Amino acid sequence: MREILGRRRRLLSQHDDGQPELIGAALTYATQWQWPVLPGAAADPRARSRCGCPDPDCTVPGAHPFDPGLLAATTDARMVRWWWTNRPTASIVMATGGSAPCAVSLPALPAAHALAALDRAGLRLGPVVASPTRWALLVRPYSMEQLGELLYAKDFVPGSLRFHGEGGYLALPPSETGAGAVRWERAPLPGSASPWVPDVEAVVDAVVDALTRTGVSAPEL
């Protein structure tokens, strides 16, 4: 009888709150860390690797905002709970910039080599988000002017580097997207009020230098 009651409680919990892991993570981002979030576009029910948005050539299936749009991102607990109760499998999309971190991303294999080189160099990194195709290093918010000056001063910048700044977005763990699962390659410290992240200058300088020194080319993806 105890086993049956326990199973019923688990089923009720899943019915009320959707996917507990997803809604719990979304609430942590929004209310504890003050990172505005919203649910991502649904995957195409006919093919998980395709997006449910109107774009047949979507390059980030299930990992971008659609309905609602990016401007709806919020830190309000009631809205977050309502979204994931009604869309329990939706990916968690963070609106980058403002009160949330920005990010620098690059293809997964060069990113793994770059992180190993940065570790050997003793550079302190913040959280790193990983998907099967790309890894994203979280950084402090930056302006477009700041980024432009930084890139202009470089002799070489890999063409596959992407910058998720103000007005951008990034899917966060434990989302399931068309490309696969999103996870932490470097997780924030448990219980941290707001995870520490480095300046964008330090990350771009280190990533470009690491890719150059290791001879790893970052192809366009």
Phi/psi for 95 (5° steps) reads -80, 115
**How many alpha carbons fall within 13 Å on the CB side of residue 80?**
26
Q: Which residue has the tokens 């890999």?
A: 158
Q: Both tokens of residue 106?
A: 């690059």
Model pLDDT for residues 44-94, shown as the tens digit of each residue: 666 667 788 888 888 888 889 998 999 999 999 999 999 999 999 899 999
Model pLDDT for residues 104-135, shown as the tens digit of each residue: 999 998 899 889 888 988 989 999 999 999 99
Q: What DSSP string runs through 22-60?
A: HHHHHHIIIIIS---EEEPPPEETTEEEEESSS-TT-SS
In angstroms, the CA 203 to CA 138 distance is: 9
